[in-house]
Chain A
Amino acid sequence: EAQVTQNPRYLITVTGKKLTVTCSQNMNHEYMSWYRQDPGLGLRQIYYSMNVEVTDKGDVPEGYKVSRKEKRNFPLILESPSPNQTSLYFCASRSGTDRGSEQYFGPGTRLTVT
């Protein structure tokens, strides 16, 4: 089954404790991205990657890091989480052939930083 998976699905952590949210897709997609969703602000892009070892900042990259060492994986790293990073996070991927094509979303990770 074609899918994007994320782990963990729920995470409660404390300020300053490094964490990683994993994202993996099995569709051989070149493009992957991280979004955060907050009430009243909609979905905003954090980082994106156009292929292995190619990443770039989205709208709200501060406080986040990413890596793309393999095509299927795109982890999101919070080196020192803060309460304002409490949010719902989605990973997405799409084929690289058409930038207007459908994006597939993972199930989401709800992060709470206390």
Chain B
Amino acid sequence: EDKVVQSPLSLVVHEGDTVTLNCSYEVTNFRSLLWYKQEKKAPTFLFMLTSSGIEKKSGRLSSILDKKELFSILNITATQTGDSAVYLCATPLSTDSWGKLQFGAGTQVVVTP
């Protein structure tokens, strides 16, 4: 059965800290792993990862995929209060031709001033 597990479920950090979020997956016929940021509204797309070992960066956020160990990490450096959100990872299900996304439960990040 395909599944996506995120850890930790939540964390609280001070501004300026670095945060590392984990996403492990079990999917046959893996296609991609997606990271989204959700504040009090719709998920917004961060990264799509398809290849192992190639880091994707956007400002203070970066992410990398390990297809051998079946996990991805999302790093946020020099955190700001605006980084407070739920971070979701997801992957298209192997058995679904549409590419229905299987989401993890999310990691709630709270950045305190």
Contacts and interface: CB of A to CB of B under 8 A. Distances in A.
Interface residues of B, number: 24
Contact of B106 (A42, A58, A107, A108): A42
A105 B44 contact: yes
B99 A31 contact: yes
B13 interface: no
A33 B100 contact: yes
A50 interface: yes
Chain B binding surface, main DSSP class: loop
A99 B31 contact: yes
B19 interface: no
A100 B31 contact: yes
Contact of A102 (B48, B97, B100, B106): B48
27 contacts: A33-B100, A40-B105, A42-B103, A42-B104, A42-B106, A43-B88, A43-B101, A43-B103, A45-B101, A48-B100, A50-B97, A56-B98, A90-B43, A94-B99, A98-B31, A99-B96, A99-B99, A100-B31, A100-B99, A101-B99, A102-B45, A103-B101, A105-B36, A105-B42, A105-B43, A105-B44, A108-B41
> When A and B form their complex, which 8 residue pairs have the shortest distance between CB atoms, in order from nearest?
A99-B99, A100-B31, A100-B32, A105-B42, A43-B103, A42-B103, A108-B42, A105-B43
Interface of A: 31, 33, 40, 42-43, 45, 48, 50, 56, 58, 90, 94, 98-108
